[in-house]
Amino acid sequence: MSSEKVIEKRSMQTKNKILVATVSAVVIVGVALGIYFGVRNSDNNDSSNKSNTSTAPDPVPTNAPVPTSAPEPPPGINGTMINGTLFPYYTLTGEAPAPVGIDGKVYTNCVTPNTFSISFDDGPSQWTHELLDLLEAEQLKVTFFVNGDNQDCIYKPEVQSILKRAFESGHQIASHTWSHPELTTLSVEGITTEMTRLEQAFKDILGIVPRYMRPPFGDGTFGNGNANDLKVQNTLKGLGYVITTWDIATGDADIDDNKTPHKLSDEELMSKEQLEVTSTVEPAPDGAPHMQLMHDTYMRTIRLMAPWSIKYIKARGYKMVPVATCLGDEDPRTWYKLIGPPAATTPTTCTK
**What is the three-class DSSP state of 119?**
strand
Taking only the tens place, the pLDDT of each residue in 260-294 is: 889 999 999 999 999 999 999 999 999 999 999 99
Catalytic residue among 121, 252, 256, 296: 121
Mean pLDDT computed over every residue of the chain? 85
Residue 206 DSSP symbol:
T
What's residue 57's pLDDT? 36
| Long-range pairs of 227-231 with CB within 8 A, sequence gap ≥ 24 | 228/184, 229/184, 231/184, 231/188, 231/191
What's residue 64's pLDDT? 30
Cβ(307)–Cβ(134) below 8 Å: yes
Whether this prediction's pTM lies above 0.85 is answered by no
Strands (E), 140-188: 143-146, 172-175
What's residue 72's pLDDT? 53
* Single-letter amino acid code for the residue at 147: N
Cβ(342)–Cβ(160) below 8 Å: no
What's residue 227's pLDDT? 96
What's residue 259's pLDDT? 87
Residues 6+ apart with CB under 8 A from 252: 273, 294, 295, 298, 300, 301, 305
Cβ(292)–Cβ(116) below 8 Å: yes
Q: Which residue(s) pair with 82 in the sheet?
A: 85
What's residue 225's pLDDT? 84
Parts of the chain with a pLDDT under 50: 1-29, 31-71
CATH no., domain 100-339: 3.20.20.370
**What is the three-class DSSP state of 146?**
strand
Catalytic residue among 171, 176, 180, 295: 295
121 is catalytic: yes
What's residue 60's pLDDT? 34
Domains of the chain, by residue range, sit at 100-339
Q: Nearest Cα to 308, choosing from 330, 328, 289, 281?
A: 281
Between the two ends of the chain, the Cα-to-Cα distance in Å is 139
CA distance 178 to 186: 13
What's residue 75's pLDDT? 59
What's residue 260's pLDDT? 84
